[in-house]
Every structure is written in structure tokens, then in C-alpha cells.
């Protein structure tokens, strides 16, 4: 049974964030043990079986402090391709906060995928879940994600400036 039934579509429509499902377990096992993924996330195992992916998916489905998504790219023929996983971690309803984690398949790095899925996820966090704070953590040597954090900061500042312009004040959740 999936953890949730939420499906999110990116602004461009090329990406869908869907609940984790058994059909993606093989792709998850490959992604979590890929050498490029492990280069930045050294805690991930060298080998991660399909059965371990299933166990992880089922365990997360039972944890109400996590909302996990799989990212799928819309293909021209109407099918989709698994390209990564992301989600809200350590959801704290008392403090309206969470952390965000993301893994994008190395085959899709440098294609704007991470930016697009993070933007879609952050809209969900702030607009739908009404959380006030999101925490990102990345290694100092992960240059690609350091840039992502900077772009997200700029996006947040632009939203804040737009709110000030429209309302004459800044919303407390930005």
C-alpha cells in the first residue's frame, strides 16, 4: 500500500512526482548504489538489492514523518521513466518544518531536473502543507547541490520581494 496518493506535476509538465511503487524498486536499487550517487552520499551502500528497495519503501510508507516521492519524466509516447527520488524528511508539525532529500539519476544530471523537482516539491511544502521552514543538507564537495541551494535561496528572495510589492508586507512563512 502506498504511503500517500499525492501526485505532483512540475510547471513545465515534463515531470511527475508520484508515490513510491513496486514497479520502481529495481531503478531505486540501481540509483542508491550507483557510484556517482555514492560519491556524494557516502553512507549509501555499495550494493542495494531490489528486496532492500522494497523493504525501504514499505518502512517509509509506515512513517508519518516522511513523505516520499519518485520523480518520473514524461516521455513523448505517454509513458514515464523513473529518474529519481525525493521527499520530505523529519516532518515536524509542531514547528511547521521539515528537511528535504533528493537523488537524481546520474543519467539526468545537468538537465534542470533537480531544479524542477525541487521547485515542485517546495511549492507542495509551502502551499499545500503550509510548512514554514525547510532544511537542506549537502556535502561541501557536492558542487551541483551547492548551486541548487543558492538558486533556491534566490527563488525564496524573489518570492519575498513579490509579496512585499503586492501586499506591502512579507508573509511570515517565506
CATH of the domain at 45: 3.40.630.30
Mean pLDDT within 94-106: 88
Q: Say if 2 falls within a structural domain.
A: no
Rounded CA separation 22/24 (Å): 5
What integer pLDDT is reported at residue 155 of this predicted model?
56
Rounded CA separation 1/61 (Å): 8
Domain containing 113 equals 8-167
Planar angle of CA 147, 141, 82, nearest 5 degrees: 65
Q: Say if 173 falls within a structural domain.
A: no
Q: Say if 137 falls within a structural domain.
A: yes
What integer pLDDT is reported at residue 173 of this predicted model?
44
45 compared with 14, residue with greater pLDDT: 14
Tens of pLDDT, residue by residue over 15-69, are 999 999 999 999 887 777 767 765 766 666 678 788 887 888 899 898 999 999 9
Q: Say if 71 falls within a structural domain.
A: yes
Number of domains in the chain: 1
Q: Say if 172 falls within a structural domain.
A: no
Q: Say if 143 falls within a structural domain.
A: yes
Q: Which residue has the cell 524542477?
A: 116
Tens of pLDDT, residue by residue over 67-96, are 999 999 999 998 999 999 899 999 999 999
H or E element at residue 162: helix 143-167
Q: Say if 88 falls within a structural domain.
A: yes
Amino acid at each position: 500500500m502506498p504511503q500517500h496518493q499525492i501526485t505532483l506535476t512540475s510547471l513545465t509538465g515534463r515531470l511527475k512526482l508520484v508515490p513510491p511503487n513496486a514497479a520502481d524498486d529495481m531503478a531505486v536499487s540501481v540509483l542508491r548504489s550507483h557510484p556517482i550517487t555514492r560519491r556524494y552520499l557516502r553512507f549509501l551502500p555499495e550494493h542495494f538489492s531490489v528486496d532492500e528497495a522494497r523493504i525501504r519503501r514499505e518502512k517509509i510508507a509506515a512513517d508519518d514523518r516522511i513523505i516520499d516521492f519518485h520523480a518520473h519524466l514524461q516521455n513523448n509516447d505517454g509513458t514515464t521513466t523513473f529518474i529519481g527520488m525525493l521527499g520530505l524528511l523529519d516532518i515536524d508539525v509542531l514547528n511547521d518544518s521539515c528537511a528535504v532529500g533528493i537523488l537524481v539519476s546520474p543519467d539526468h544530471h545537468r538537465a534542470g531536473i533537480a531544479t524542477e523537482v525541487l521547485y515542485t516539491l517546495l511549492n507542495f511544502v509551502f502551499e499545500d502543507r503550509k510548512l514554514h521552514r525547510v532544511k537542506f543538507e549537502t556535502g561541501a564537495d557536492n558542487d551541483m547541490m551547492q548551486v541548487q541551494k543558492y538558486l533556491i535561496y534566490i527563488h525564496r528572495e524573489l518570492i519575498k520581494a513579490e509579496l512585499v510589492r503586492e501586499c506591502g508586507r512579507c508573509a511570515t512563512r517565506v
